[in-house]
Amino acid sequence: MSFYDTLARLTQLPFDGLLKQYTSADVRRAVQAEQLDEEALLALLSPAAEPYLEEMAQKAQRLTRSHFGHVMQLFTPMYLADFCVNHCTYCSFSSIYDFPRKKLTIEEVRKEAEIIAATGLRHLLILTGESRKESPAAYVKECAEVLREYFASVSIEVNPLSTAEYKELVQAGVDGLTLYQEVYHQDTYSKLHVKGPKRVYRNRLDAPERGCQAGFRSVNIGALLGMYDWRQEAFMTAVHARYLQDKYPDCEIGLSIPRFRPYLGQFNPESDVTDRALVQIILAYRLFLPRAGISLSTREAPALRDQLVHLGITKMSAGVSTEVGGHTMEGGTPQFEISDNRSVQEITDMLYQKGLQPVFKDWDILV
């Protein structure tokens, strides 16, 4: 049994009909329910829920404040390498683009770490493109070991690895795994992933579960919103999260809500995810998974981020660069364009102004 089996069942659902069939009464019932089932989740993601966003928001905020308090955890990504053997049609690191690729040396990792740590941030997410030659698990491990000296918690966002590789990283003190399925809809997945090992849908789908088995403290999943019908994608993501939460109670399952962003190429997504839609997704996630962390990246614009902090978000990135060595060197190629360029200090000020306390450290690596 893996989530693939659940997904196979869900894929049989007549989504188009179902989504249209929900009524206000279904939505109301879902908002008021204590424990939401898949049916309720779908109702909250349906068009019938659109007039109820405010009610959903009220409940989402209550749940979030009561479980997480008035705090917001901050983290930042660090890009280690942009070598990639895949061609994903939505990413600047795709192997078809020709630009000088880079991989940080250990000394460069140290320098980046010093600069980032000086901002006060203690939680770091390290990223690479997919290249088993340039940035294999051993390289990620080596970098993580150095980064542990500067950060209280180090998580990874790299290509799917084997359980044994994940275990090795856990032993090296890596706390968390972030891995987006990008697209749950399998045909669309095949279309968007044109070349490279990333084409193997199932290897990616099962990777978060391998991460849970390997003992990461937290596993964060998400769909790249905009690549396929967002209602279905959000539904699959949330059910995936619940599946992992039920099966691996000792792992903290989190969700991310990345929206498609401009990059080097010309690809335009199929499904436009408006701000309203994004809000509906966040609220449905919170109501369906009251204790799951929800992360918000700098893909979103400052004005929107400032509003979303009250709707269920528990983690935000700050002081972000999506280039390799972006904190110490010039001239890198960003993976995608970010929208919120504010510094850690500016985000901190904004949060206090909104009545929220930024938390820089929420865990210590215990290995």
CA distance 95 to 196: 9
User: Which residues in 248-267 contact another protein (CB under 8 A)?
Assistant: 249-253
User: Which residues in 185-204 contact ligand SF4 (CB under 6 A)?
Assistant: 198
The three-state secondary structure class of 130 is: coil
Find the binder of another protein among 291, 303, 331, 343 (CB under 8 A). 291
State the minimum distance, in angstroms, from the CB of residue 79 to ligand SF4.
10
State the minimum distance, in angstroms, from the CB of residue 253 to another protein.
7
User: Which residues in 118-137 contact another protein (CB under 8 A)?
Assistant: 120, 122
Of 12 and 66, nearer to another protein (C-beta) is 66
The closest of 143, 136, 175 to 158, measured between CA atoms, is 136
Yes or no: say if 36 and 287 are a contact pair by the CB < 8 Å rule.
yes
Instruction: Report residue 341 as tokens.
Output: 């360029």
State the minimum distance, in angstroms, from the CB of residue 226 to another protein.
29
Which listed option, ligand SF4, another protein, none, makes contact with residue 352 (CB within 5 to 8 Å by class)?
Answer: another protein
Q: Which stretch binds another protein (CB under 8 A): 61-69, 184-192, 316-324, 330-338?
A: 61-69
Residues 6+ apart with CB under 8 A from 314: 64, 68, 72, 73, 293, 294, 295
SS3 string of 183-200? CCCHHHHHHHEEECHHHC
- 37 touches another protein (CB under 8 A): no
- 130 touches ligand SF4 (CB under 6 A): yes
Rounded (10°) angle between helices 53-68 and 275-288: 50
Q: How many chain residues are in contact with another protein, going by CB under 8 A?
A: 30
* Burial (Cβ within 10 Å: 0-12, 13-18, ≥19) of residue 367: exposed
State the minimum distance, in angstroms, from the CB of residue 211 to another protein.
14
Yes or no: say if 88 and 94 are a contact pair by the CB < 8 Å rule.
yes
Q: Which stretch binds ligand SF4 (CB under 6 A): 84-92, 164-172, 215-223, 303-311?
A: 84-92
Query: Within the chain, what is the greatest distance between any pair of CA atoms?
Result: 60
**Residues 88-107, mask of contacts with ligand SF4 (x by CB under 6 A):** x--x-xx-------------
CB atoms within 10 A of CB 301: 12
Which listed option, another protein, ligand SF4, none, makes contact with residue 70 (CB within 5 to 8 Å by class)?
Answer: another protein
HSE at residue 47, side-chain half, CA atoms within 13 A, is: 8
Find the binder of another protein among 66, 107, 133, 266 (CB under 8 A). 66
Q: Which residues bind ligand SF4 (CB under 6 A)?
A: 84, 86, 88, 91, 93-94, 129-130, 198
Residues at the site binding another protein, with contacts judged by CB under 8 A: 65-71, 120, 122, 152, 217, 245-246, 249-253, 291, 352, 355-357, 359-364, 366
